[in-house]
Every structure is written in C-alpha cells, then in structure tokens.
C-alpha cells in the first residue's frame, strides 16, 4: 500500500505555518508523507522540520509584493490604525487586508494548480482564510483548518469575526453592517474570480466555504463558546489546540539570574512596532523578573537593553512558553492556545484581526488580562504583571486546562481525522 501524500498549504504567516507543522509531525509518524506548499518568503521554514517544500512560482508583481520592504511598508502604513477599535479598523485595515488576500489568491492560482498536478496529493490541508480554487478543483479531499479564533465560523451566539465584541453586545448589528459594506466590492471581485474557475459564489462577507470532508478548529473546550446551532460532528472536529513538537530551548543567562520568566512576542507582524516594544522594555527594567522578548528582525532598533531583558530575533515558542510564568502576546490564535496548553497566564494586547476576539475571550474566561495596546500606563502594566504572577487560583485552573489539552493531543487527533477522509487505495 502506497503511503498517502498530504499537501499542506498554510497562509503566509508563522502562526498557520507552525500549526500545520504540528499536524504534519503526527501524520509522518503514522506513515503518511506530508509536504508543504510555500508562499514566497517561507522557503526553508518547513525544511527545517524535515518536510519537503514546493515553492509557489511567482509573477514579478507577486515577487514585488512579497518583498520584505513592501511588507514592512504595508504594515508601517497601518501602525496608526492598530490603535483604532475593531469597527474603525474595518475600513482602515480589514478592507485593505482582504483586498491584498484576494490579490494573493488570484496571483497564486496558476502556479498552485501546476504544483498540485505535479505532486498528485491524496489530500490537501488548507490553513487559510480564503479558498484557492485550484484546491477545490484538485479532485481530492481538502481539509479546512481554522487556526484563527472560532469566530471565523459564524453563529448567532458567537460574536462577529474580528469584532472583539461580546456575543450579546448591542453594537453587533452596526459592526456587521459596516463589515459587509466595506468588503462588498472586494467580495464581488473574489466571486467573479471564483466563477471563472468554476466555483459557486460565496455568501456576502465570506471568503472560504466549509469543507464537505473535514473542518478542524483549534479552540480548546475551556474557551469555546456555546453555539446556537451545533456544528455537524461528522465534518467539524475541535482539536483542543494544536501544538508542534519543538527542540528544547534553554533561555540564555542574564546578569539578573533570578525572578519569574516573562516572555513577550507580538508575532512577526507586531515586531514591526518597535516603539510599543521599546515602551514596554522601559517598564520591564523596573520590574523584578527576567524578560525574553521576541523582536523579529529589528534587533538593531534597541540601543539600551536592561540587565533583566534578553532580546531575540526568534524563539522556539512552545519551549519558551512552557518555561515561562507569564506570556505577553497579541492574541494570535497560536499564542492564545499555546499559553493554555502550557498553563501560563496571559496579558493579551491585540492590535488587529482575530486578536481582538481572543483578547476579549482572555478576559471573559479568566485566563489572563486584556490590555489595549495604546492606552496602558507603566503602572497599569506593572500591576497587570504582578497580579497575574500572584494569582494562584488562576494558575491552578490553568494547570487543569493544560493537563486536559495535553491529554487530548490535538495534533494527533487532527492526523487521525485527516487520514480518515482519504479514500482507501
């Protein structure tokens, strides 16, 4: 019997990419052959974990858009918008981002179709927020991974995706109206593209359909919402998180060699906001703890580093989170779930996308503190860190959540479910 070949196609973000690595590791152990389709700029990421990569061919236009300079310029142009509330961000950030995502899908189509014909996978795992028609037309089962917040799957009892609102917030209707108005022309353009590729149009505001084979959601039971309409159990599976296996990381020693360990990461996108991280480092210098700070490719932006702070361009996050007493992050779903997986309290400081949804959920479920990135004071940050480090009741509750998530082994469950939908050869 031939080993099944499973193509992973995560979006061009480290959260989705590394979440897929965790599933691929389990599939490989079960005798499957996972391979990765790579966006520009992600070459080598999956190879480091031992997986074969196929680079998407790119047009000159796509090359330019994916250059480091263009990406940084895009984010820098939106830094001021990250201080806006989610409703204001619909026009300033969410709309332009959806426009760029649709561009990506259109530009990738021909190259993706060619790669899939070459690889001939037995199944395709799509961890993205948009459908690439080449995947739907590949003639094999495709699996949708929801590695953003579970709000991505709509329900009357679940807040609107990207809103940062509570389920019953009276502002819901205004947010939904604004979202549909801003995304309407982008959505229409995307549906025209789908039609040219033989796909049915999607309802307003939606850019990715449900997979008829399998849909995997990361949301752990401890933070999951009660839905008005239960998701069909034969095609929707909750994973209790999905954490990759990572090499052991030994935190470099600091001149200050005692005190709790606090890890800060705002992801590859958030690392661009060096002003915010610099303000936080100034506060860290006054707090009795050891800080490990992920600053991405911007090490040179920090001239004065306190004795209790270590700056790194990359950390093997599962390993450093497991050793931390507190995790400060932006509400990205991987960070959100990894904190729970290792039983670590969070300070969630979101700036865009589903970070707003996870920030609210952090406060609602009592797993940490939700701080707005633009309005905190040094005293508020110190108080938040101190209160979470001293909250023994919260830590005991988080340890129980951690034990349940580790026992559930979401990555292994995902692998089992993926293999289940592959036709026997």
- Continuous segment of H or E residues that includes residue 221: none
Q: What local confidence, expressed as pLDDT, does residue 200 receive?
A: 97
Residues 129, 266: one domain? no
**250 inside domain:** no
Rounded CA-CA distance 103/414 in Å is: 30
Residues 209, 125: one domain? yes
Residues 219, 271: one domain? no
Q: What local confidence, expressed as pLDDT, does residue 425 receive?
A: 58
Q: Does 1 have pLDDT greater than 70?
A: no
Residues 306, 391: one domain? yes
If pLDDT is split at 50, 70 and 90, which confidence band does 323 have? very high
**248 inside domain:** no
pTM summary value: 0.92
The mean pLDDT value for 369-392 works out to: 96
**255 inside domain:** no
**386 inside domain:** yes
Residues 236, 211: one domain? yes
**Domain hosting residue 201, numbered range:** 5-243+409-421
Radius of gyration (C-alpha) of the chain in whole angstroms: 21
Residues 365, 415: one domain? no
Q: What local confidence, expressed as pLDDT, does residue 59 receive?
A: 58
Give how many domains the chain has, as a whole number.
Answer: 2
Q: What local confidence, expressed as pLDDT, does residue 117 receive?
A: 96
Measured on CA atoms in the order 308, 309, 314, 320, is the torsion positive or negative? Answer: positive
Q: Does 309 have pLDDT greater than 90?
A: yes
**77 inside domain:** yes
3-state secondary structure 2-28: CCCEEEEEECCCHHHHHHHHHHHHHHH
Residues 189, 302: one domain? no
Cα 191 versus chain centre, distance: 25
Q: Does 68 have pLDDT greater than 70?
A: no
Residues 413, 385: one domain? no
Rounded CA-CA distance 331/350 in Å is: 5
**254 inside domain:** no
The mean pLDDT value for 64-88 works out to: 71
Q: What local confidence, expressed as pLDDT, does residue 67 receive?
A: 45
Q: What local confidence, expressed as pLDDT, does residue 270 receive?
A: 86
* CA distance to 69, 78, 116, 117, 404, per residue, from 56 (Å): 20, 27, 10, 13, 38
Q: Does 61 have pLDDT greater than 90?
A: no
Rounded CA-CA distance 223/150 in Å is: 10
Rounded CA-CA distance 253/132 in Å is: 46
> 215 Cβ partners below 8 Å, 6+ apart?
143, 144, 145, 146, 153, 231, 235, 236, 237
Q: Does 62 have pLDDT greater than 60?
A: no
**DSSP states along 31-58:** T-EEEEEE-TT-TTTTGGGT-EEEEPP-
Residues 171, 60: one domain? yes
**162 inside domain:** yes
**364 inside domain:** yes
Q: Residue 364 maps to which CATH number?
A: 3.40.50.2000
Residues 160, 291: one domain? no
Q: Does 40 have pLDDT greater than 90?
A: no
Q: What local confidence, expressed as pLDDT, does residue 356 receive?
A: 95
Structure confidence by residue, pLDDT tens digits, 143-158: 999 988 899 999 999 9
Residues 338, 191: one domain? no
Least confident of 177-181, 191-195, 271-275: 271-275
If pLDDT is split at 50, 70 and 90, which confidence band does 4 have? very high
Residues 182, 230: one domain? yes
Q: Does 66 have pLDDT greater than 50?
A: no
Q: What local confidence, expressed as pLDDT, does residue 41 receive?
A: 79
């Amino acid at each position: 019997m031939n080993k099944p070949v499973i193509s992973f196609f995560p979006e061009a973000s480290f959260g989705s990419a590394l979440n897929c690595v965790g599933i691929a590791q389990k599939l490989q152990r079960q005798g499957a052959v996972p391979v990765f389709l790579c966006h520009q700029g992600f070459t080598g990421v999956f190879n480091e974990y031992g997986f074969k990569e196929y680079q998407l061919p790119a047009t000159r236009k796509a090359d330019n858009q994916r250059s480091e300079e263009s990406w940084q310029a895009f984010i820098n142009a939106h830094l001021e918008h990250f201080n806006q509330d989610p409703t204001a961000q619909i026009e300033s950030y969410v709309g332009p981002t959806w426009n760029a995502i649709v561009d990506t899908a259109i530009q990738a189509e021909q190259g993706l179709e060619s790669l899939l014909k070459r690889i001939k996978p037995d199944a395709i795992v799509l961890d993205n927020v948009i459908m690439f028609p080449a995947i739907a037309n590949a003639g094999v089962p495709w699996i949708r991974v929801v590695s953003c917040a579970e709000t991505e799957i709509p329900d009357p009892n679940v807040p609107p995706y990207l809103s940062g609102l509570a389920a019953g917030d009276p502002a819901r209707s205004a947010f939904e109206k604004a979202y549909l108005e801003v995304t309407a022309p982008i959505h229409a353009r995307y549906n025209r593209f789908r039609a040219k590729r033989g796909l049915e149009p999607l309802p307003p505001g939606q850019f990715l359909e449900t997979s008829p084979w399998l849909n995997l959601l990361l949301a752990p039971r401890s933070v999951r919402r009660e839905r008005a309409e239960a998701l069909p159990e034969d095609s929707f599976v909750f994973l209790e998180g999905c954490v990759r296996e990572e090499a052991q990381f030994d935190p470099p020693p600091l001149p200050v060699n005692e005190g709790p360990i606090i890890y800060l990461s705002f992801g590859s996108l958030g690392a661009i906001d060096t002003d915010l991280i610099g303000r936080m480092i100034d506060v860290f210098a006054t707090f009795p703890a050891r800080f490990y700070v992920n600053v991405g490719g911007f090490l040179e932006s920090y001239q004065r580093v306190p004795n209790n702070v270590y700056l790194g361009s990359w950390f093997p996050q599962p390993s450093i989170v497991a050793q931390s007493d507190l995790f400060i992050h932006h509400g990205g779903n991987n960070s959100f779930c990894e904190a729970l997986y290792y039983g670590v309290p969070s300070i969630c400081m979101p700036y865009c996308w589903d970070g707003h949804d996870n920030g609210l959920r952090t406060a609602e479920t009592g797993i940490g503190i939700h701080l707005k990135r633009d309005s905190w004071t040094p005293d508020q940050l110190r108080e938040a860190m101190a209160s979470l480090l001293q909250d023994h009741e919260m830590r005991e509750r988080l340890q129980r959540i951690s034990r349940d998530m580790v026992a559930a082994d979401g990555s292994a469950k995902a692998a089992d479910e993926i293999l289940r939908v592959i036709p026997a050869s």
